[in-house]
Structure 1
Amino acid sequence: MVSGSLILISSFILYYFSPAFIYKSIESTRFVLSTLVESEATVIAIVITLTLVVLQLTASSYSTRVIDIFEDSPSIWLIVGIYIIAIGYGLTVLNAIDAIHASGILNFEISVWVAYFLGIFAFGALIPYLLGSLEIMKSSTVVDRFAERITNENILAGVQESEKIVGADSNDISYSYIYSDIMRPVIDTESDPVQPVIDIIHSSMMKYDYGTMRYGLNVLENYMMATLKNGKFEREEGIVVKHIFTHLERVGKLAASRDDEDSVMEVVITIYLIGKTAMENKIESVVGEAVNSIKNIARLAINREMVDIRAAATDLIGEIGRWTAQNELDFATSVAVNSLGIIAIDAAKHAQRGLEETVWMGGTIYGIGKLAITQKLEQSVSSAVNSMGNMGRYTARNDLPKTTIRIVNYLSNLGTAALESEFSKNTNDVAEYLWEIGRIAVWSELSVLAAHSILKHAKESLENIRKRAKELEVKETSLAAQSSLEKINKIIKEKSIHDGEKVRYKKKLD
């Protein structure tokens, strides 16, 4: 607007206040026009050169895909077009100046004035062009330009036909979770509208430019939230969500592999916020995807001994699990519980701090399991029992008796609560897990003291379950608990655990 006003004012001044000799003297007019055309040619050559330099710098800083922005931008082609017109007209007037002058002074003055006006207009057009070029060099502008291309239609257009089958099945929430690690929508990288934003996030992360990285993550977060809030979530939206979660998970894993805890935390929080929006809109498949992505990032973070990420990820998953249980989202709750169980086992592999968190995660699973029992969430209760059972078997097998005992106590309490709420099938599973944990404790490389302690707690737990089952007249559970007790007593007798003999090796308690 400002540059346009300046051009009009300058043109007005030129026409009404320019010296008369520049129109009446052909030679002076020819000289001025020639100089003007040469200046225009020089300027446009410099502008093109600088544009290419800016393009190279911007592409090297963010992504080679920035070239697409310049190609699609009308400003570069507009400025080149203006200068071509100005130079072409100036050369035409120069070539026919004698004939134009002979045709009359008015035609001569108008023709020369138009050449001058086009020159002023061309030089004036540099102002908005340069401002626009400087704006494009800003990271936020580049991200916004790429974000404009992110639409459901553009994402779906590049999804391979074979992968649309996976997307079609993504409405089956159990299928979506079970195969989420190996069957994600695949898209042609060149036509993927999300990839340019991911490239910028990656490059920013490599340079520890957290501001740009956060901005890129926020763009994807806002798009996902808008998708989840539009009141329509069908097969196509499921494919889009899976695709973006795949990208975010890869960013988180890359950051974890570089031991960049700040970047990992940013990605995990972004995924959590998307999952939270899905929770509020009760879209369970998306909640499951969010939890699964956080779990996968957390597992890599555990291997890299990133303690803060491990704690933050489990806190967020625990919060999701409690919220979904309270709001009767059975599948999402079961995904959260399963993920906590997997992370807990991974954490148990890493030093004493990991053992403490394993116990803490066992308590979190127990708490979610009790909520699930209260809300009558069958799948979630089963997941809680299985997760803690697997944790107990792992810790018993790997010489972690104290942790195993805590898990046994959680299992016992959850089994009793399930029995009292008519989830006897889950209590039967608890009885089987308690027997398996005891058997593993005996046959693993534990000291007699450790094995005896685990077996003692397992027996007490089974006795309590059997007693409570009799009181409630749940015969099947009573028999299951009795069977597990008998098998434990048998193995105690066979291995003389009560006499204090060594099983294999004598080791300290963990």
Structure 2
Amino acid sequence: MSELKMAKDINDGTFKSTFTKVYFLPFIFFCFVSVVLAHFNIGSSDLTSAQYLISALVQGEAAILAIIISVTIFAVSTSQTYSPRIVDIFLDKDRVPHFWSLLTIYIFALIYGTFVLKFLKAENAYDPSNLQTSVWIACFLGLIAIMSLIKYIPNILTTLKPSNIMETLSNEIEINDVFDQSIEHCLTRSIEYDYPLPKNSVVRPILDIISSSIVNNNNEIASNGIDAIEKKVRQIIKYQQLEAEQSSELLQMFREKYFNIGHFCIERNNFEVLAQVVKSMVFLEATLFEVQQKTEIVKQLVAKFENLAITSIEKDNEFMLIQILESITTLGTMIYPFDNNDDVSINVIDSIKSIRTYAANANKYVLDTKAIVTLGIFGCNLLRIKYKAHIAEKLRVTLEYFGTHAFRTRNGMAGFHSVERMLIIMQLLSDMQKDVSDYNDSLDKIIKIAIDNRFYPQVVEISKIIPNYPAATVKLKAELREDGRSYLINDVIHF
């Protein structure tokens, strides 16, 4: 049985239902049993032994109650390092019903035992049957309390683990945890960009735990929290039949929250959690697009990803940039079949172009190349799903720009990869029996610029992988002779 299931098994229901099922009904049953045992004089005790027994029970219960409180305070204090709001969660008796039920039964057992002990001092206070009934009830109360303790200690430690708290709270997320309709909150939202959550929102402690987990490098906890919120919000969007404006605002709010977490991950160099943030943002966006079919919503996320990508370039982090580029293209690919105007696809291509240009201008040549390769893969995926002439043309123009710009700015590696990706798309279009003459012209233009800028080794490599370009070959041979590099001519085949 998993830890989370252990916690759920005992914490299902409110305080009232838990106390009734686990403690009150067994207590009523044992009261009946006590009356029967006393009536038939089974296990009877004299006054002295009854006093010793009840006294021992009261002292033991008091000691155990102290242990319960100590263990609970320790568990809460440990969990509170993740979020100060965990105390508020714990004080809610319906969220941790077993603790409050156990506390109630122990206090009742102590009070009952103390009163029984007091009245036992007066020999004539009870007739024998009443005395025996009271002793049996006190014993059974102690038994219930001790048996409950055996299950309580591991359960409370499990329940208050940050991962289980997040799972529990995420299942409780409702629309009121996101939108507060009070006038004060609406005024705050109108002037605050970050979409403040309602004061008692269960989302707040989840975000606290995620942030603390990132700081402490507890990536699994942080990732689980991000994933839990994403799944619950997707359910709300899909199944609660929200108005279009509410759904959009809900997504916008969590986009901002995730975007802030993403930037925090970048600052902490935590790329594992960043990958989960980006993935969750993609799935949230795709879910809302499925419901509303509004491309403007997706464009906003692409702009956010572009911002994160630029930050990753500034940090010179290849892994992070790859994660973001893959997420942008995944989003574009998922929506492509439903995007009748291809607004999202064109927006993604333009975004990759902006990211690549920023990397090139920052002289981050490896990251520059990654953006070019990503565009090539994205373009092939789109054309395989469904050929659209204007998408093929957009890809051609963009890759031509990448290639010519790369060779002009002395980035031979990026220029070579631009040609390589263009060739792959050309091959795909040829297999579809589409016209590739424009692509041929673009290739010729890129190669001539490469030759003009004396990128001879790259042109030699290009010549080995592309088909017939005699004009460029002649020009290249002439350039090599003039430059005293005639030894390279033998490496140049007729393209």
Could you say which TM-score interval applies, normalised by the shorter chain?
0.5 to 0.7
When normalised by structure 1's length, the TM-score is 0.64
Q: Judge which range, 271-280 or 395-404, deviates more.
A: 395-404
Task: Tell me how far 1:279 sits from its aligned partner.
Answer: 4.6
Distance 2:176 2:273 in 1: 30
Counterpart of 2:348 in structure 1: which amino acid? A
CA contact (8 A) 2:373 2:417 kept: no
CA contact (8 A) 1:210 1:263 kept: yes
Counterpart of 1:354 in structure 2: which amino acid? L
Task: Tell me how far 1:190 sits from its aligned partner.
Answer: 4.5
Distance 2:399 2:123 in 1: 95
Aligned position for 2:348: 336
Distance 2:50 2:201 in 1: 55
Aligned position for 2:432: none
Instruction: Within 5 Å, give how 1:398-477 maps onto structure 2.
Output: none
**CA gap 1:21/1:89 in 2 versus in 1, 3 angstroms:** same
Q: 1:51 aligns with which of 72, 90, 94?
A: 72
Distance 1:122 1:365 in 2: 63
Task: Tell me how far 1:320 sits from its aligned partner.
Answer: 3.1
Instruction: Within 5 Å, give how 1:96-495 maps onto structure 2.
Output: 96-98=119-121, 101-157=124-180, 160-162=185-187, 184-188=193-197, 190-230=199-239, 232=242, 234-281=244-291, 282-327=293-338, 328=340, 330-348=342-360, 349-360=362-373
Distance 1:387 1:157 in 2: 45
Partner SS for 2:217: coil
Aligned position for 1:30: 51
Per-residue CA deviation, residues 210-249 of structure 1 (Å, 9 max, x unaligned), is: 3323321221221132234336551122222112122222
Aligned position for 2:89: 69
Per-residue CA deviation, residues 53-105 of structure 1 (Å, 9 max, x unaligned), is: 12111222x32222223212222222221112111111212222255744422
Partner SS for 2:236: helix
Distance 1:376 1:227 in 2: 38
Task: Tell me how far 1:386 sits from its aligned partner.
Answer: 11
Task: Tell me how far 1:260 sits from its aligned partner.
Answer: 2.5
**CA gap 1:130/1:370 in 2 versus in 1, 3 angstroms:** closer
Distance 1:27 1:405 in 2: 98
CA contact (8 A) 1:274 1:290 kept: no
CA contact (8 A) 2:85 2:205 kept: yes
Counterpart of 1:78 in structure 2: which amino acid? S
CA contact (8 A) 2:31 2:137 kept: no
**CA gap 1:24/1:135 in 2 versus in 1, 3 angstroms:** closer
Distance 1:366 1:120 in 2: 70
Partner SS for 1:259: coil
Per-residue CA deviation, residues 308-333 of structure 1 (Å, 9 max, x unaligned), is: 33233223323433554443154433
Partner SS for 1:305: coil
**CA gap 1:362/1:135 in 2 versus in 1, 3 angstroms:** closer
**CA gap 1:397/1:233 in 2 versus in 1, 3 angstroms:** farther
CA contact (8 A) 1:355 1:403 kept: yes
Task: Tell me how far 1:155 sits from its aligned partner.
Answer: 0.7
Number of residue equivalences: 406
CA contact (8 A) 1:217 1:267 kept: yes
Q: Judge which range, 329-338 or 123-132, deviates more.
A: 329-338
**CA gap 1:162/1:393 in 2 versus in 1, 3 angstroms:** farther
Q: Judge which range, 193-202 or 1-10, deviates more.
A: 1-10
Q: 1:80 aligns with which of 96, 103, 122?
A: 103
Partner SS for 2:316: coil
CA contact (8 A) 2:251 2:284 kept: no
Distance 1:388 1:144 in 2: 45
**CA gap 1:365/1:34 in 2 versus in 1, 3 angstroms:** closer
**CA gap 1:139/1:158 in 2 versus in 1, 3 angstroms:** farther
Partner SS for 1:148: helix
Partner SS for 1:111: helix
Distance 2:42 2:334 in 1: 85
Distance 1:289 1:12 in 2: 68
Task: Tell me how far 1:352 sits from its aligned partner.
Answer: 2.3
When normalised by structure 2's length, the TM-score is 0.65
Task: Tell me how far 1:44 sits from its aligned partner.
Answer: 0.7
Distance 1:78 1:43 in 2: 15
Distance 1:55 1:89 in 2: 29
Distance 1:3 1:365 in 2: 58
Q: Judge which range, 42-51 or 208-217, deviates more.
A: 208-217
Instruction: Within 5 Å, give how 1:491-510 maps onto structure 2.
Output: none
Aligned position for 1:488: none
Per-residue CA deviation, residues 34-54 of structure 1 (Å, 9 max, x unaligned), is: 222122112112211221112
Distance 2:367 2:163 in 1: 40
Partner SS for 1:96: helix
Task: Tell me how far 1:366 sits from its aligned partner.
Answer: 7.6
Per-residue CA deviation, residues 126-159 of structure 1 (Å, 9 max, x unaligned), is: 2332243132144432112221332212110179
Partner SS for 1:157: coil
CA contact (8 A) 1:344 1:361 kept: no
Distance 2:38 2:47 in 1: 19
Per-residue CA deviation, residues 154-178 of structure 1 (Å, 9 max, x unaligned), is: 1101793146569xxxxxxxxxxxx
CA RMSD of aligned residues (A): 4.9
Counterpart of 1:292 in structure 2: which amino acid? A
Distance 1:386 1:65 in 2: 54
Counterpart of 1:196 in structure 2: which amino acid? P
Partner SS for 2:84: coil
Structure 2 spans left out of the alignment, 5+ residues: 1-9, 11-20, 426-451, 455-495
Structure 1 spans left out of the alignment, 5+ residues: 167-182, 414-448, 452-510
Task: Tell me how far 1:28 sits from its aligned partner.
Answer: 2.6
CA contact (8 A) 1:342 1:387 kept: no
Distance 1:304 1:322 in 2: 27
